[in-house]
Amino acid sequence: MVIDTVDGRPKAEFRQLSLADLPDNDVLVEVAYSTLNYKDGLAISGKGRIARRTPMVGGVDIAGTVVESRADRWRPGDKVVVNGWGLSETEWGGYTRFQRLKSEWLTALPPAFSLEQAMAIGTAGYTAALCVDALEDWGTIRPGDREVLVTGAAGGVGSIAVSLLAHKGYTVTASTGRPETHDYLSALGATAFVDRTTLAEKGPPLQKERWTGAIDSVGSTTLVNAISQTVYGGAVAACGLAGGADLPGTVLPHILRGVALLGVDSVMAPQARRQRAWQTLSKHLDPRHLASMTTVEPMSSLPSLAEDIVAGKIRGRVVIAVD
């Protein structure tokens, strides 16, 4: 699937490419699976200008097998995962049978997961783990303590964040706009719910202290309210903008309650942080939870799935079987 520029706008279409068309990077990977993330939805639907040069092969995630390598670190047959590193933005991505990638972008497939499971996790799940790690590094959340809030809970990042936090023993409150997902989120470990509309309304800068920590994939007023409701010394890990990229708040929670806003980026995260996030996932993501939140779809479904994820209609994670 290639994103190109047509009449000044991004347009995605399926195209036949040969190995000679691929970039001259040092490792050739046969792609088994890719995924659908919010960013992929923006890129394919044309609702966001994700590709910074065109033509661009889409797909921010890859799980596959090394076929050829000019790098000592990787040998044919190695199973690898790639998340981010500018794939589908500045570098050709995962919606293709084969891709040539830079050796430093590859992470060995963690032994706990199959290639398909690694993509059920994908960028969304690995980002959820980065958020959990960031909150724990801040050091004020404690298992069994007061509630940890997860916003956009029924989405990809949110579902995996709920499952990881619950497995670690935290009390998880899920914010969702879809009441029909409550049973699903309860099964992942959420014990209370907040209707997302209550977090989307503008509130006072300092509100009743409720969350010991929060993981936010929504942004805008939702993020500001999460910060305003966080307890003294707590922290909010912000990774997304599904509800907006603005931050219409005040400094008061930060300067009067010492609340930290922890920014989380998955794309250029260094390898050490990635390895740690994959360890967190290996130890704390229940494979049954992962199965319950995942659907596997063919490449041909990408155009309609892209519209669905941007409209907030996808529950959990979508794996794309590349064939």
Encode burial over 101-137: b for 16+ CB neighbours within 10 A, e otherwise. Answer: bebebbbebbeebebebbbbbbbbbbbbbbbbbbbbe
> Are the C-beta atoms of 38 and 155 separated by less than 8 Å?
yes
Q: Does 241 bind ligand NDP (CB under 6 A)?
A: yes
Q: Sign of the C-alpha dihedral, residues 207, 149, 38, 104?
A: positive
- Of residues 11 through 50, those in contact with ligand NDP by CB under 6 A are 37-39
Residue closer to ligand NDP, measured from CB, 69 or 228: 228
Name the residue whose CB lies closest to ligand NDP.
155
Residues 108-137, mask of contacts with ligand NDP (x by CB under 6 A): ---------------xx--x----------
Q: Does 217 bind ligand NDP (CB under 6 A)?
A: yes
Using CA atoms, how far residue 114 sits from 68, 110, 120, 156, 180, in Å, is 21, 8, 10, 18, 30
Q: Does 274 bind ligand NDP (CB under 6 A)?
A: no
CA nearest neighbour of 34 among 299, 303, 316: 299
Residues 76-115, mask of contacts with ligand NDP (x by CB under 6 A): ----------------------------------------
CA nearest neighbour of 162 among 138, 194, 199: 194
Nearest distance, CB of residue 83 and ligand NDP, angstroms = 9
Among 239, 277, 285, 322, binds ligand NDP (CB under 6 A): 239
Q: Does 59 bind ligand NDP (CB under 6 A)?
A: no
> Are the C-beta atoms of 117 and 146 separated by less than 8 Å?
no
Nearest distance, CB of residue 242 and ligand NDP, angstroms = 4
H or E segment and range at residue 306: helix 302-310
Q: Which residues bind ligand NDP (CB under 6 A)?
A: 37-39, 123-124, 127, 152-158, 176-178, 196, 217-218, 222, 239-243, 264-267, 309, 312, 314
